[in-house]
Homo-oligomer: A and B are copies of this chain.
Amino acid sequence: MKSSRAEFALSGGTPSFSEAIPFGQYHVPDEAGYRSVLERIEASGYFTNHGPLAREFEASLAEFLGVAHVVLCTNESLGLSMALKGMQVDGRVLVPALGYPELVESVVWAGLEPVFCDVDPETHQISPRILEAAAQDGVGAAVIMEMWGNRCDADGLMEVAQRCGLQVLFYPADGFGSMRGGRQITRPDQTTLFSFQSTRLLSTMEGGCLATDDDHFAAVLRNIRSSYGAGEPTAVPVTANGRFSELQAGLGLWGLERIDSSLEHNRALCDAYREAIGSAPGLTIYEVSEGVQSNHQCLVLRVDGERSGLSRDDLLRMLEAEHVVASRGIGPCLPEVPGFRAWATGGRLPVAEQLAHELLLLPVGSGMSVESASKIGGLVASAGQVLS
């Protein structure tokens, strides 16, 4: 706990940490864990293209998610493009203005035109009301991004989507392991896209999967991914190289076996942050919606610079000086990304624009101790009063 200006590293004090605290999850194997993965690859002689570990990982994921079909793919961006191609979307694709650039890229690579909509100020997601307002002429599908380990009101969204004739893809980018209504998958009758990128609770370094109960659409996805694992030939508009390597699958199987303890560790870190930050003025901790069990994927703060005394970017600089790597979580609001402006045809997007300047994600993950979380939380809580 630093209680005077001089103690903060920004003012010449000693940094709180001698080594940088990285941002992100990084639930990766130790040496014995890697050895067990590599021994299995060595024994099978398969290295990629729907080998035995990939098949086992698909089956384990299907069981964990409670879904009939899981289709692994190289990374989540290609998975999103594959799903949109398979959906044969007729029209533009609605995407939230608060999201990752990959979201937009995947729509464009699928040969479709994105269009941005705003997000809900509480959930940071597309709500049924927003979907209805944005379902203007020419929108054929919506990508519902589920943020910060929260999950969306899928049933409410599907009611609107069906009424407005929209197809929907659910994309809990960082939501693997969180649940709503006891369900891991967003809507079993639709398609849910998960990411296994290295900052996720379940990591294959890069990778992702599509999950659905729909037998026909699963066959379409497998045929689009092509090569081994395509299963029965099914007419598809295009095929792709969406191969998942055995090393990715081995890392995934290792992580899935340990998902409960990874989640518990993150929960303990988030609890420590909450306790340390408490009700510091101007800092609001993001909470998942009622009925959602979070995966504690991240600790997200919304910083009201007027009330806290320091802006989000001031806090990032303070933490950097203390050797803590925090994150804006998301870059600029998507319409501000170079090349993306043309797709902001629906006017201003005030909530997404404001959130993009106010969000601060604190480090969580396997490499961090609860003590570090308490210390970082204390820095964030006191900095506003001491440094402003």
Contacts and interface: CB of A to CB of B under 8 A. Distances in A.
Interface of A: 20, 22, 24, 26, 28, 31, 34-35, 38, 45, 47-48, 74-78, 81, 101-102, 105-106, 108-109, 111, 197-198, 203, 205-206, 226-227, 233, 236, 238-241, 243, 245-248, 338-339, 367
A197 B48 contact: yes
A245 to B, nearest CB: 4
A198 to B, nearest CB: 4
Nearest to A44: B22
A75 B246 CA distance: 14
A75 B205 contact: no
Nearest to A47: B198
Assembly stoichiometry (copies): 2
A205 B47 contact: yes
A336 to B, nearest CB: 14
B206 A245 contact: yes
A233 B338 contact: yes
A247 B76 CA distance: 18
Given A35-B31, A111-B111, A206-B245, A240 B48 contact: no
Contacts of A101: 226-227, 239
A64 B213 CA distance: 48
Contact of A75 (B31, B108, B241): B241
A79 to B, nearest CB: 10
A28 B37 CA distance: 14
Contacts of A78: 74, 78, 241
Given A47-B198, A205-B48, A367-B45, A243 B105 contact: no
